[in-house]
Amino acid sequence: MIITEKTRTGEYLSTVLKIILQRLALGLLTLFVVSILIFAAVNLLPGDFAQAILGQGATPEAVEAIRRDLGLDQPPITRYFQWLVGAVQGDLGNSFAQANFASFVGADSGNKASVAAQIAPRFWNTMFLAGVTALIAVPFSVLLGILAALYRNSAFDKFANMFTLSSISSPEFFLAYILILFLAVLNPVLPSLSNIYQGMGLGERLEKTLLPALTLTLVVTAHMMRMTRAAIINLLASPYIEMARLKGMSPMRVIVRHALPNALAPIINVVALNLAYLITGVVVVEVVFVYPGIGQLFVDSVKIRDIPVVQACCLIFAAAYILLNLTADIMSIVSNPRLRHPK
């Protein structure tokens, strides 16, 4: 019996490890394809950085000198592989906008700012915003889904569905301006601008972050709430749920103790997908609240055609989304034996 159990455990671990390796390989392949699309799309943006920085009075010689110094005179394939090799090694290049432009007329060029150093604080600001949003949205959505399943087809259920569908159907900037109107203008409870800076205390940082976090909460709540509700309702017709009811357990205890644990797989899946959105879909919200995150940096870099920063931001967005999608995929497969053994 012991040998049989060890064998089963070994086969299970082998199957899970094989699934994880397959998904990681597919994720790396997807990221490679996405990197090609990112490079091609960014380099197809209209305008020229050298021309934009020098203005209309630029001479062809000066423009060519800047392009040569930045490596823009090289073939696109060469530039792509140089960027890809550097990204794999953790070197995302140097920002065009933060470069020392005196170097373009023959001075020292050692002052060029690293893209990684420029992105790092912005990325952690975005992660902080996503973390605060997740701490608010996940418990709120699961609780709302449980209550909607418990009182399904009631006035509360209909109101919750209408509220969440309205929030997810509204653009992020519209929800942001509505919250600014009610929580910052008519009732000045929270600041309308999220001017975060290094060295700020946790309490003040939370206060500045709360309004954009509430905006993102309204956007992601609908998916998680409706998935929680659907998963629990689907299990309420199961025989073991009927048996728990016949034993005299309260409806809330039946859902929390018996239905919810068995409904965690689809709920975790949709939570992971919405966390991916919180990292990649914050661009509009950060611009509205002037939040110093990676989304705001991305928009500013597009305006001035800072190609290395734009490419790095897009690559980070793509990597985060692919990683969290892979996590959701692996967790759903591991938690469901029918997906581990499709035959």
Q: Would you state the pLDDT for residue 105?
A: 42
Q: Give residue-wise pLDDT tens across range 6-61.
A: 566 666 677 778 878 888 888 889 999 999 999 888 877 776 666 666 666 667 77
Q: Give residue-wise pLDDT tens across range 160-204.
A: 888 888 888 888 888 888 899 898 888 888 888 888 878 788 888
What is the DSSP secondary-structure string of 289-323? Answer: TT--SHHHHHHHHHHTT-HHHHHHHHHHHHHHHHH
Query: Do 136 and 106 share a structural domain?
Result: no
Average pLDDT, integer, range 257-274: 76
- From 249, 271, 293, the end of a domain falls on 271
Query: Do 82 and 3 share a structural domain?
Result: yes
How large is the greatest C-alpha to C-alpha distance in the chain, in angstroms?
Answer: 87
Mean pLDDT of the chain: 80
pLDDT at 84 over 70: yes
Q: Would you state the pLDDT for residue 50?
A: 66
Q: Would you state the pLDDT for residue 10?
A: 67
Residue 204 lies in a domain: yes
Query: Do 246 and 203 share a structural domain?
Result: yes
Q: Would you state the pLDDT for residue 51?
A: 66
Least confident among 83-87, 103-107, 253-257: 103-107
Backbone φ and ψ for 226, nearest 5 degrees, come out as -70, -35
Q: Give residue-wise pLDDT tens across range 292-321.
A: 888 888 888 888 778 888 889 989 888 888
% pLDDT > 70, the chain: 85
Q: Which residue bears the tokens 């309204």?
A: 218
Residue 75 neighbours by CB under 8 Å, 6+ apart: none
For the chain, how big is the Rg over CA atoms in Å?
25
Domain count, the chain: 2
Residue 296 lies in a domain: no
Rounded CA separation 278/273 (Å): 9
Least confident among 40-49, 78-87, 280-289: 40-49
Query: Do 202 and 316 share a structural domain?
Result: no
What residues make up the domain containing 156? Answer: 128-271
Query: Do 172 and 213 share a structural domain?
Result: yes
Residue 248 lies in a domain: yes
Average pLDDT, integer, range 89-97: 80
Q: Would you state the pLDDT for residue 111?
A: 44
Q: Decide if 198 contacts 121 (C-beta within 8 A).
A: yes
Average pLDDT, integer, range 228-257: 78
Residue 337 neighbours by CB under 8 Å, 6+ apart: none
Rounded CA separation 312/306 (Å): 10
Residue 246 neighbours by CB under 8 Å, 6+ apart: none
Residue 295 lies in a domain: no
Q: Decide if 278 contacts 132 (C-beta within 8 A).
A: no
Rounded CA separation 112/283 (Å): 26
SS3 track for 188-253: CCCCCCCCCCCCCCHHHHHHHHHHHHHHHHHHHHHHHHHHHHHHHHHHCCCHHHHHHHHCCCCHHH
Under DSSP, the state recorded for 74 is S
Residue 288 neighbours by CB under 8 Å, 6+ apart: 172, 173, 176, 177, 180, 212, 215
Query: Do 341 and 265 share a structural domain?
Result: no
Task: Output the CA–CA distances (angstroms, integers) from residue 164 to 62, 121, 276, 291, in the order listed.
Answer: 55, 33, 19, 25
Rounded CA separation 273/261 (Å): 19
Residue 87 neighbours by CB under 8 Å, 6+ apart: 35, 312, 315
